[in-house]
Amino acid sequence: MTRSVYVTGIDRGDGRQVVELGVMELLTRQVDRVGVFRPLVHDGPDRLFELLRARYRLSQDPATVYGMDYHEASALQAEQGADELVSTLVDRFHLVARDYDVVLVLGTDYADTQFPDELSLNARLANEFGASVIPVVGGRGQTAESVLAETRNAYRAYDGLGCDVLAMVTNRVAREDRDLIAERLTGRLPVPCYVVPDEPALAAPTVSQISHALGARVVLGDDSGLARDALDFVFGGAMLPTFLAALTPGCLVVTPGDRADLVVGAFAAHSAGTPPIAGVLLTLDEVPGEEILTLAARLAPGTPVLSVSGNSFPTAAELFGLEGKLNAATPRKAETALGLFERYADTGDLLKRVSAPSSDRVTPMMFEHKLLEQARSDLRRVVLPEGTEPRVLHAAEVLLRRGVCDLTLLGPVDQIRKKAADLGIDLGDCRLIDPATSELRDGFAEKYAALRAHKGVTAELAYDVVSDVNYFGTLMVEEGLADGMVSGSVHSTAATIRPGFEIIKTKPGSPSSGGASIVSSVFFMCLADKVLVYGDCAVNPDPNAEQLADIAIQSAATAEQFGVEPRIAMLSYSTGTSGSGADVDKVREATELVRLRRPDLKIEGPIQYDAAVEPSVAATKLPQSEVAGQASVLIFPDLNTGNNTYKAVQRSAGAIAVGPVLQGLRKPVNDLSRGALVQDIVNTVAITAIQAQTSHEKAPRL
């Protein structure tokens, strides 16, 4: 039977979209097919569903998402009664439920409706749908005592109407009251109560939303600039020195269009990072001359300038009435919302309470969710040497907003801050270090000179070498100032991993005890319904039998660390005893070495790819094998075969390839493709943080 979760409230303005998004994130971690149903909808686009559809790649027909609009529902209830209304909505809900493992129901919004008792309607619908309920209570602008009373009353209301209440969420409470409210609710109700503080970045409209609401003309700016949050409004009328002192981070400057001095001053402040602004809104339908706009564009590329015809007073009245909205065009707000929900709600416990049926399938999205969740479970610090690269900065923002790990960015600090400001990125508590000027440089030079003295490296040469961001980042990992490093978006593989070979080196000990004789790599190949591990496709050109056995053992350990049960296939052009030759013999010898060193591992080899992954072929070629037909770790005999195969599967089967993930080093260092997308960087950093969790010591949180 389909399990459904009904997120509802008691009044408007509770910000429950944060909870709805968070619950959707939880459900998509657990099952592949999640449906969405909104019983009643207003005219116009449904911003939240469009966000869910874009973010979670939902294939659901939008026509099936909605029960009916409010006008139709009101008329039906007036003419035929509430029972007929509920019956119709139940029928339409079941049309969705029959096609999905679990359904997220988005309750009514209490906005401009004609239902006298909307809470009772939501409760009845939840009961008729067989859905468990998560009521959301809005606490914005209320005292702690008022919030406590409303939360208890809301629980009693839904429980008294027969609802299965999963948990209570009290949202948008004052930050200074959050801990007190959480403490006083703990144990007072028979269900968990999650208390989420108000977050200004969620309530802040983006510059794009402001432009649309005011009907403004975009004079300057790009999509990244228009996506910035306007955290404050500063109205320009004073002389320049006084005006500059009034600027605040993320503010939108509102000024008459003839004040070119304030426009240039605001852009110069942004360029210097003191402070970065969201943009400039010009009033009175006045725009500075072309030379001023050209100067502004050079000072702060991408920073938006809008123009409206009204004067400052009516413009201000409209601005103060605007509030940020979660939608498909605000992915950064979605990351903030998810980070907030995951920080203040016990998502692990909530997922158990939902009791959604676990799926045997592991989709790429489910795998990505698991990575972020696992990384968050024990925060580690990862250093990113390419601190001025826009993709790295965007990935850093996602990682910080989601609370995946702590970060250090390397590079000229002023350049990092300026690039982040130009992109409208808030780096929060991210640590910024310039290797060229860092106080760590002298000590790192001494360390590196000692490590490479046998190669003739002098202290003077070492001082130059450690100013390189990859060497500096690797030394941070070696010295315990970071738990792992990710680089390669603008550096070659050699430039990224060579410092690791020289400084961190391989794990000591034998392969059977967790040591490593070589460094190797794997790709996580996320197919439509499962995740396979391919090794080695990036590092070792032609491993011998000893090395191939080491790669297999390392890959099995990596697979297990990331939730993939290792069933190892040692690949060759021959299966079983059907072939001979040096290449087959190498694979056969490597297979026997793995069996000798790790008799607990399930392994088969030599075996062809089709016999390894296709049950019908395996039934013919190796019917008694416990690996054939269901292999999860596929070890290629050489780099040529592995690299070509992973790329062929990636392109032809539409698989998502996550990696290469390096294995065998004492501490984690991972390489990125120079074509890596932001999500690729996020995934690789999460993987690096998880690899670092095996260490008992971790870098200090600064």
* pLDDT tens digits along 407-466: 999 999 988 988 888 887 888 889 999 999 999 999 999 998 888 888 888 888 989 898
**Within a 10 A sphere around the Cβ of 416, how many other Cβ atoms?**
25
CB contact set of 121 (below 8 Å; sequence gap of 6+): 82, 86, 108, 115
The tokens describing 591, both together, are 């297979």
CB contact set of 699 (below 8 Å; sequence gap of 6+): 380, 381, 406, 480, 481, 482, 483
pTM summary value: 0.78
CA gap 420, 332 in Å, rounded:
14
175 DSSP assignment:
H
The tokens describing 522, both together, are 């794997």
Q: Which residues of the chain have pLDDT under 70?
A: 1-2, 111-115, 355-361, 509-515, 578-579, 695-702
- Domains annotated for the chain, with CATH where assigned, are 3-199 (3.40.50.300), 205-320 (3.40.1390.20), 360-505+667-702 (3.40.50.10950), 511-664 (3.40.50.10750)
Q: Is 111 helix (H, G, I), strand (E, B) or coil?
A: coil
CA gap 277, 304 in Å, rounded:
10
Give the pLDDT confidence score for residue 621 in this predicted structure: 86
CA atoms within 13 A of residue 250's CA, in its CB half-sphere? 16
The tokens describing 225, both together, are 């600039």
Give the pLDDT confidence score for residue 455 in this predicted structure: 84
209 DSSP assignment:
H
Q: 347, 333, 343: which is closest to 398 by C-alpha? A: 333
* pLDDT tens digits along 586-614: 999 999 999 999 999 999 989 999 999 98
Give the pLDDT confidence score for residue 1 in this predicted structure: 41
Give the pLDDT confidence score for residue 698 in this predicted structure: 66
Q: 426, 436, 510: which is closest to 471 by C-alpha? A: 436
